[in-house]
Structure 1
Amino acid sequence: MPETQGNGPVNLLRPLLLMCYSAFFLPLTVFHLLVNFQLKTFLSVDDFKDEWFARLWAFFGPKSRDMAAPAVMPLLQKNASGVCLDIGPGSGQWLYLFQRANNPDIKKIYGIEPNPGMHKALRENAVKAGLGEIYEIIGCGAEELQTKGGLQKNSIDTIITVQCLCSIPTPEVIIKELYPLLKPGGQWLVYEHVRTKHRSDFVEYWQSGINIVWPHMFNGCNIRRPTDEWLLQAGDWEEVKLRPGAGEGKYDTVPHIIGTLKKRR
C-alpha cells in the first residue's frame, strides 16, 4: 500500500519536535512554582510532572485537538449515549462534541481525571459545552472506579478513551476492569496511541528509543502499548470496528487506532 502524502521518512522526526515543546515548559513550570511559593510541589516527582504537563497542555492541547479533529470528530459526535464514562479527559478539549444538540441521548457523563491541575479547565469546558448539570468530575484513577468512584458493573452505556490509555498505570488490567462496567450492547469509543505494526522495520527500533524519554516528558504517556490487542482480549465483543489512524504508515512513530467496540448482548 503506498504511503500517503506527508507520510515519508521525515515523519520520524515529528516526536522530537513534540518533545521540544515539552522541554520548553519545564523551566517555565519551575519559575511559576517558585514565584507562587508552591515549593511543596518540588517534593513529589509525580506532583511536579502533573504541574508540568498541565501547563504544557494548556498551550499544546488545543493544537493537538486541531490536528486530531478530522479523526476524532466523526468518532465522538453523535455516537455517545446514555451514561458515559469519559476516561482521562484532561482539560476537556473534546467536550464540545458532546453538546446536547448533537447528542440528545446523553444522560450523564463521568469525567475520570486524576490530575487535579486539569480540573478547573475541565469544569469550565463542561459548562461552556452546556454539560455543567450532567458532567461530574471524579478525581481518581481509572483503576479505582469501583472502589473510590462507586461505579457498578453493567452501569455504563458508552466508554470514551481518547489518547489516555497510553498514560494510565497497568492499562491491560484497567481495560479488563472497565469492560464489566459496560452494559451489554454498550459501546467503547477509542482513539489511542499504539505500538507500531511495522515490526522489525527501523520505526520499531526508533519508537523504542523515543519511548525511553517520551513518558517523562508527557506525564507517563507510553507509545509502545499494544492497546488494540488488549481491548480485543478484554471480553466478548459483538462488533469490532477498529482501524489505523488516517494516513498513518510505516514512518509514524506515534501511530493510533480508532473506532468502536460493542459489548455482546
Structure 2
Amino acid sequence: MAGNAQEAGPFNLLRPLLLMSYSAYYLIPTIIELILSFNFKPFFSFDDFKDAWFARFWVFFGPRSRENAAPKVMPLLQNSARGVCLDIGPGSGQWLYLFARANNKDITKIYGVEPNRGMHKALRENAVAAGLSDVYEIIGCGAEELSTKGGIQPNSIDTIITVQCLCSIPTPQRIIKELYPLLKPGGRWLVYEHVRTKYTGDFVETWQAALNHIWPHFFNGCDIRRPTDEWLLQAGDWEEVKLRPGEGEGKYDTVPHVIGTLTKKK
C-alpha cells in the first residue's frame, strides 16, 4: 500500500550520481557505434548526439528502470487503460507488457508518441511482444506537434498515459494544456512523473536544484524540478483527482514522483 514503505535514509541523496555514471558509461560506445556505422551527422548537432547517446543508454537502462519502478507503476497501469489511448513518450516500450491484449481487451487503439526515432525499433518489437502489433501505432513527433503532425483530434482519446516523460518534453505546461482537450469527457489521465520536491527549506531542495544543472545532459533533457502535478491540476476541469507521492519517497529523494489518475469532467 502507498505510504507503508519505509523512507530511504540520507545516503539516498547520492543515488542520482550513480545513475548519471551509468549514462556516462555509454558515451564512448555511442561514439564508436556512430563511427563504425558511418553515421557522422550526430557529431555536427549536440541535440542529435544526445538522442543517439540516450537511445543506446536506454536500451540498457530502460528495462532496469522498469524493474525498479514496476511495483509502483503496475497497479496504476495494469488493466487501467481503455478505448483509444495516447501513450506519450513511451521510449523503447518498456511498459507495453502492461497493456498486453490478453489482459486489456478494452483497448482498441494505442498511439505511441515518440519523437526519438532511435527508440522506434525497440518500441515496435515490444509492441509485437505484447500482442499489440495490430493496434499500436507509432507517431514520430513531439507531443507539442500532435494536433498538426499527429492528426489527433479533440475529444477523441479515452486514456492518456504519461510515465516519466513530462520531465523531458519541451514547454511541458503548454503541452499539458494542449493534451487536456484531446481527452473525451470522462476520459482518464494516468500519471507517473518526476516532480519538484515538496520538502522546501530542507537540504534536498538545494541539492535537487544543484543536480538539475547537470542531470538533464545525462538523461536526454529530463528536468527533475518541474511542478508537473500542479500543472496537471491547472490543465482543466477534473471530475476526480487521485494523485499521491511515490511510495516510500521522502526528504532524501532527489528525484521524487507523483502517481495516480485524473478523470476529465463529463
TM-score range, shorter chain: over 0.9
Q: Normalized against structure 1, the TM-score is what?
A: 0.98
Distance in 2 (alpha carbons) for counterparts of 1:143 and 1:6: 36
Distance in 2 (alpha carbons) for counterparts of 1:161 and 1:39: 33
Question: CA shift at 1:202, angstroms?
Answer: 0.4
Moved more, 22-31 or 235-244: 22-31
Question: CA shift at 1:240, angstroms?
Answer: 0.1
Unaligned runs of 5+ in 2: none
Q: Does 1:141 align with 2:142?
A: yes
1:220-259 aligned at under 5 Å gives the runs 220-259=221-260
2:128 maps to a residue whose letter is: V
Aligned length: 264
**Other-structure match for 1:92:** 93
Question: CA shift at 1:4, angstroms?
Answer: 5.2
**Other-structure match for 1:75:** 76
Distance in 2 (alpha carbons) for counterparts of 1:48 and 1:121: 19
Question: CA shift at 1:101, angstroms?
Answer: 1.8
Is residue 5–residue 247 contact of structure 2 (8 Å, CA) maintained in 1? no
**Other-structure match for 2:19:** 18
Q: Normalized against structure 2, the TM-score is what?
A: 0.98
The SS at the match of 2:57 is helix
**Other-structure match for 1:126:** 127
Percent identical pairs in the alignment equals 76
Q: Does 1:195 align with 2:196?
A: yes
The SS at the match of 1:212 is coil
The alignment yields a C-alpha RMSD, in angstroms, of 1.1
1:35-114 aligned at under 5 Å gives the runs 35-114=36-115
**Other-structure match for 1:183:** 184
1:132 maps to a residue whose letter is: S
Question: CA shift at 1:105, angstroms?
Answer: 0.4
CA 80–4 in structure 1, closer or farther in 2 if over 3 Å, else same: closer
Runs of 4+ in structure 1 off by over 6 angstroms are none
Is residue 157–residue 182 contact of structure 1 (8 Å, CA) maintained in 2? yes
**Other-structure match for 1:152:** 153
**Other-structure match for 1:167:** 168
The SS at the match of 1:60 is helix
Could you report, residue by residue, the CA deviation over 1:25-57 in whole angstroms, capped at 9, with x for unpaired residues? 111111111122111121111110010000100
**Other-structure match for 1:212:** 213
